[in-house]
């Protein structure tokens, strides 16, 4: 057995367990909801039958689309987080605000108005300012100081090289079979090439942002425009049911199947991994409530505050150094969030108040 902490967990198992938790919570709440519409002594089997019908007999199968997209998004996010620092990940991921807006206009026929589009353009500018110069900056910094462990957790130790190129003992054979990122770098690229690490991270986060926009709007459309009027919890049962299948086949079998068979499903699990999975599941369920009660665009602007939170933690925990372009870009992202969320000014003046003496 390797010493504790020597192996990283398989990210696909985390995505799968996240779906298990959401499925269990959504099923419980959907059953509770259904029970209220039936007589008090209705047996549980009837409840299950109702849920079963909801998933298979009506338009529940339509949720397979967003389920596949969300699973892809969640898998890509782990690749992105493994190759970028948390702050750059958070800021670049805000591109999803733009993609969500575009998909909302196209699929939900939403009108954004001038304020909406102006704030989206400022947001895009902010994201560009943060991302473009940082590729050189990150590369410089990596080349000077080496890729920090948190940037690319397995690269140094498991691919058997340091950033400076000095070889250290060969990695254990099983480790080259991990995620596509590590595998790709192990086979085809100079180990821990900082520019490549950064490019993999940026590509993963940008694709993830596009998929996030499409998945969210697709889910919202099914939730709000479907003729069956299925409740949120029924929709969530349907979504996580198909997500479970996608996460199992795409992640646990295709992406990490060989490694999981060799080392076990729970390899590398510790309290932090479990906490991340629980937080991810709670975040997903909360996101669904916001999509129902507001919409995807509002959800995205609201969560962009997470940039500030991850910034504070990155300075504190990871010694993240701030440069002026980063500050400028992040400020633009937050300004865009503010402009989008302030209410429109009233164009009509209120009628003059008459003072009766």
Q: Give residues in contact with ligand C5P (CB under 6 A).
A: 22, 70, 74, 96, 212, 216, 219, 236, 239, 284-285, 287-288
Q: Which CB, 107 or 285, lies closer to ligand C5P?
A: 285
How far apart CA 292 and CA 315 sit, in angstroms, is: 35
How many C-beta atoms lie closer than 10 Å to residue 222's C-beta? 20
CB of 69 to ligand C5P, least distance (A): 9
DSSP string covering 261-308, please? HHH-TTTT--HHHHHHHHHHHHHHHHHHHHHHHS-HHHHHHHHTTHHH
Which one, of 270, 153, 291, lies nearest residue 217 by Cα?
291
Q: Both tokens of residue 19?
A: 């779906």
- Identify which of residues 18 and 83 has a Cβ nearer to ligand C5P in the complex: 18
Tokens linked to 283: 């975040």
Residue 171 or 284 having the CB closest to ligand C5P: 284
Number of residue whose CB is nearest ligand C5P:
284
What the block records as the tokens of 100 is: 């969500």
Least distance from ligand C5P to the Cβ atom of residue 147, Å: 26
Rounded to a whole number of angstroms, the minimum distance from the CB of residue 48 to ligand C5P is: 21
How far is the C-alpha of 73 from the C-alpha of 11, rounded, in Å? 13
Nearer to ligand C5P, 50 or 288 (CB): 288
Helix axes 296-303, 271-293, angle to 10 degrees: 140
Alpha-carbon gap, residue 276 to 216, rounded angstroms: 21
């Amino acid at each position: 057995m390797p010493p504790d902490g020597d192996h990283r967990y398989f990210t696909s198992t985390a995505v799968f367990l996240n779906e298990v938790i959401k499925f269990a919570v959504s099923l419980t709440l959907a059953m509770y909801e259904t029970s209220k519409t039936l007589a008090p002594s209705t047996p549980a089997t009837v409840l299950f039958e109702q849920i079963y019908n909801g998933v298979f007999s009506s338009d529940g199968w339509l949720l397979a689309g967003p389920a596949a997209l969300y699973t892809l998004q969640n898998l890509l996010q782990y690749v992105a987080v493994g190759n970028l620092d948390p702050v750059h990940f958070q800021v670049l991921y805000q591109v999803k605000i733009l993609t969500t807006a575009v998909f909302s206009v196209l699929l939900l026929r939403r009108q954004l108005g001038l304020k909406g589009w102006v704030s989206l353009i400022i947001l895009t500018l902010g994201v560009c300012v943060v991302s473009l110069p940082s590729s050189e900056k990150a590369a410089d910094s990596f080349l000077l100081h080496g890729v920090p462990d948190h940037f690319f957790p397995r690269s140094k130790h498991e691919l058997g090289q340091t950033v400076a190129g000095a070889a250290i003992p060969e990695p254990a054979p099983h480790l080259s079979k991990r995620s596509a990122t590590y595998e790709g770098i192990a086979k085809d690229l100079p180990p821990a090439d900082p520019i490549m690490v950064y490019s993999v991270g940026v590509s993963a986060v940008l694709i993830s942002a596009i998929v996030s926009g499409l998945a969210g709007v697709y889910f919202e459309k099914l939730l709000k425009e479907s003729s069956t009027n299925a409740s949120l919890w029924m929709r969530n049962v349907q979504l996580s049911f198909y997500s479970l299948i996608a996460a199992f086949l795409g992640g646990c079998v295709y992406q990490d199947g060989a490694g999981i068979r060799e080392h076990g499903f729970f390899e590398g699990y510790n309290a932090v991994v479990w906490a991340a999975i629980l937080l991810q599941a709670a975040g997903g369920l909360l996101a669904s409530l916001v999509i129902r009660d507001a919409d995807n665009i509002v959800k995205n602007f609201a969560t962009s505050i997470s940039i500030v939170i991850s910034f504070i933690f990155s300075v504190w925990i990871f010694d993240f150094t701030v440069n002026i372009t980063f500050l400028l870009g992040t400020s633009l992202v937050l300004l865009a969030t503010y402009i989008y969320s302030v209410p429109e000014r009233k164009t009509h003046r209120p009628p003059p108040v008459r003072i009766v003496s």
